[in-house]
Chain A
């Protein structure tokens, strides 16, 4: 006798055969193929389990987040994970097109699969998974948060991260590090850290006056009878990529020698396992792992890469746990004689319709979001096309922001920062205030309008391009490429700074950008103190209210070569 579940699976297989994978699946059928048990299935190994979350960016609720279709590596990182996308990614990791993993990890068939598999994430789903791992592994488990946790949503901005702090506290992390946390300023960061009840680590942060350690470098914990040193590395270029004036007394940097010194110190103090909880970004960590001796595991962050397998550099394992609350990483380790003898890893995607919500966390989330609920659900407009941000060059959500900037501020050219966070909106969906603020909620949101010469514009584009495409990862400073509206250009990512960018044109007229002429430019997220103008969410909101329906086609203004 065929049970209902089996019947649906058979039906799904038939549908897949007859109409092509993914496209023919209804949502209910697709989800029948997934179970919480399968998502959590893990054959336990060894005496330590590291659970890693990172770059949640204020996202407490399940969401759509399209992974990048363009993520270029340069120099030694060219073609290596995480610099593989789409079909290449699927082939590399043996993932079937149209599968749940394909949906969670790539941009392939995103729109169709989003309809089938639904939203991913939600901290209440993460709580369920983390509780299940703890129930199974008991005192072997350490939970580590890679940072960029307190920023990225309206409720996080309005509460200065308190919404996240209160919710994450229920998960009882053992340590965290940070990046966007610092954009709430020195006083707030200090006050929040005092209230955490677990260490906020940053071995690479010193005070600018005396050049002395400003944060705890590490914490020693014992799990499963193993002494574990957790070292924390905050985002090295926080005062460069974000406003320095908000944290004038703290100096960051990669500080490779300091990392080595801390590893040596930890080993000397008897650590049998050394873990670097890092917000360096994947390529920086890959280089660091090749130069610093004695790190067993680097839990990477910042670059938002989601990799289904651990990457091994020498003896060091690199884990990339994605972003936006989509995943929980579980890494089981067999640690003996001060060495990792074996490991097993799983990146667990939190399919929100499949994983049960933890009731305690769900209640807390509802509580922290309640003061903002009516604001957040306000509909500003509707989109006919997919809105997303992530990728090296313009995403459609950025194009929307750029159009709003140009129209609302009567500018010829718009500049919008290449942040990696920001949620996706599916075709046909309403665009709510929550969607807009998920892409814009920062503490320096003012929209400026100013004159810039063509030469200055090129200089800015070259400068940002070098932050992304410098062949030495230690010199890569920030997020993805600056998003530009109204201007098209060509970029050869293999060239050095100053000669990557060419063929700058004004999109409207096709006229070449004149180095000597002054153009009216609107932008937001200036790192300079005292920038004045309306907050970006207000400007985008006004634009959407007037336009009602938007349609953003994939951006063709950037011609990329050398990839």
Chain B
């Protein structure tokens, strides 16, 4: 997750989105820090369900590169727009995946990226709106050994 790949570059170029990739944890053995990331992003406020459409496979075909598309309902005007969206993987050694930053100039709040998932876990998206309100959505993605299907 260090380099921005071509698709991420497209996500950036297409929608005027700023994508901040979070640094990997120095020590992969540390316990998952999902709660810490969420706390920092929300300031302890409870996000509401809704507004976010999070497209992820139920079962990853390859845990090393899982396609994620996100779309947040918003007029995206100067008065009302999506500011930041945080993506959290609650089962990765480092829970922080990315923060997507939008402006009214983005036109719409949507992006596609690829993420790496170490194991079966929940991927959580939290959107922060320009008025400070918070929305969340999550989906379980299964990472399986594979085989035996028929």
Contact B147 A526 (CB under 8 A): yes
Contact A479 B150 (CB under 8 A): yes
Does B120 touch A at the CB level, under 8 Å? yes
> Chain B 23-61, CB within 8 Å of chain A: the 1/0 string?
000000000000000000000000000000001011111
Contact B120 A482 (CB under 8 A): no
Contact B57 A253 (CB under 8 A): yes
Contact B112 A240 (CB under 8 A): no
Residue from the list A180, A460, A472 in contact with B150, Cβ < 8 A = A180
Question: A474-B58, A475-B58 in contact; A242/B149 too (CB < 8 A)?
Answer: yes
Does B132 touch A at the CB level, under 8 Å? no
Residue from the list A235, A417, A497 in contact with B147, Cβ < 8 A = A417
Q: How many angstroms between the C-alpha atoms of A242 and B112 in the bound complex?
A: 26
Which residues of the other chain, A, contact B58 by a CB distance below 8 angstroms? 253-254, 472, 474-475
Chain B residue at smallest Cβ distance from A474: B58
Question: A211-B67, A211-B112, A419-B150 in contact; A463/B61 too (CB < 8 A)?
Answer: no
Which residues of the other chain, B, contact A235 by a CB distance below 8 angstroms? 149
Contact B149 A478 (CB under 8 A): yes
Contact A525 B148 (CB under 8 A): yes
Which residues of the other chain, A, contact B57 by a CB distance below 8 angstroms? 253
> Chain A 285-323, CB within 8 Å of chain B: the 1/0 string?
000000000000000000000000000000000000000
> Chain B 97-138, CB within 8 Å of chain A: the 1/0 string?
000000000000000100000001000000000000000000
Contact A252 B61 (CB under 8 A): yes
Which residues of the other chain, B, contact A242 by a CB distance below 8 angstroms? 147, 149-150
Contact A418 B148 (CB under 8 A): yes
Contact A240 B150 (CB under 8 A): no
Which residues of chain A from 85 to 141 have any CB-CB distance to chain B below 8 Å in the complex? none
> Chain A 204-246, CB within 8 Å of chain B: the 1/0 string?
0000000100000000000000000000000101111110100
> Chain A 438-479, CB within 8 Å of chain B: the 1/0 string?
000000000000000000000110011011001010110111
Q: How many angstroms between the C-alpha atoms of A272 and B147 in the bound complex?
A: 39
Contact A466 B144 (CB under 8 A): yes
Contact B150 A241 (CB under 8 A): yes
Residue from the list B55, B61, B67, B148 in contact with A478, Cβ < 8 A = B148
Which residues of chain B from 58 to 82 have any CB-CB distance to chain A below 8 Å in the complex? 58-62, 67
**Number of A residues contacting the other chain (C-beta, 8 Å)?**
38
Taking the closest CB of chain A, its distance from the CB of B148, in whole angstroms, is 4
Contact B147 A237 (CB under 8 A): no
Chain A residue at smallest Cβ distance from B7: A211
Which residues of the other chain, B, contact A474 by a CB distance below 8 angstroms? 58
Chain B residue at smallest Cβ distance from A459: B145
Chain B residue at smallest Cβ distance from A206: B67
Q: How many angstroms between the C-alpha atoms of A482 and B58 in the bound complex?
A: 21
Residue from the list A419, A467, A472, A525 in contact with B144, Cβ < 8 A = A467
Q: How many angstroms between the C-alpha atoms of A334 and B58 in the bound complex?
A: 36
Residue from the list B55, B59, B67, B112 in contact with A237, Cβ < 8 A = B59
Q: How many angstroms between the C-alpha atoms of A253 and B66 in the bound complex?
A: 12
Contact B149 A477 (CB under 8 A): yes
Residue from the list B55, B61, B140 in contact with A240, Cβ < 8 A = B61
Does A257 touch B at the CB level, under 8 Å? yes
Residue from the list B67, B142, B145, B146 in contact with A251, Cβ < 8 A = B67
Which residues of the other chain, B, contact A418 by a CB distance below 8 angstroms? 148, 150
Which residues of the other chain, A, contact B147 by a CB distance below 8 angstroms? 241-242, 417, 464, 478, 525-527
Q: How many angstroms between the C-alpha atoms of A235 and B149 in the bound complex?
A: 10
Chain B residue at smallest Cβ distance from A497: B120
Which residues of the other chain, B, contact A420 by a CB distance below 8 angstroms? 150
Chain A residue at smallest Cβ distance from B145: A463
Q: How many angstroms between the C-alpha atoms of A467 and B147 in the bound complex?
A: 10
Which residues of the other chain, A, contact B149 by a CB distance below 8 angstroms? 235, 237-238, 240-242, 417, 467, 477-479
Which residues of the other chain, A, contact B150 by a CB distance below 8 angstroms? 180, 241-242, 417-421, 478-479
Contact B144 A477 (CB under 8 A): yes
Q: How many angstroms between the C-alpha atoms of A252 and B59 in the bound complex?
A: 10
Which residues of the other chain, A, contact B148 by a CB distance below 8 angstroms? 241, 417-418, 464, 467, 478-479, 482, 525
Taking the closest CB of chain B, its distance from the CB of A187, in whole angstroms, is 20
Chain A residue at smallest Cβ distance from B60: A240
Taking the closest CB of chain B, its distance from the CB of A442, in whole angstroms, is 9
Contact B146 A240 (CB under 8 A): yes
Q: How many angstroms between the C-alpha atoms of A421 and B150 in the bound complex?
A: 7
Which residues of the other chain, A, contact B140 by a CB distance below 8 angstroms? 475
Closest 10 A-B residue pairs measured CB to CB? A241-B149, A478-B149, A419-B150, A479-B150, A527-B147, A417-B148, A239-B61, A474-B58, A463-B145, A253-B57
Known: A242-B147, A464-B147, A478-B149; 17 extra A-B contacts, CB below 8 A, are A211-B112, A235-B149, A238-B149, A240-B60, A241-B148, A244-B61, A253-B57, A253-B61, A417-B147, A417-B149, A417-B150, A459-B145, A475-B58, A477-B59, A477-B144, A477-B146, A478-B147
Can you show 26 pairs from A to B with CB atoms below 8 A apart? A211-B67, A211-B112, A240-B59, A241-B147, A241-B150, A242-B147, A242-B149, A242-B150, A251-B67, A253-B59, A257-B55, A417-B147, A417-B150, A418-B150, A419-B150, A420-B150, A460-B145, A464-B148, A467-B148, A467-B149, A475-B58, A477-B144, A478-B149, A479-B150, A497-B120, A527-B146
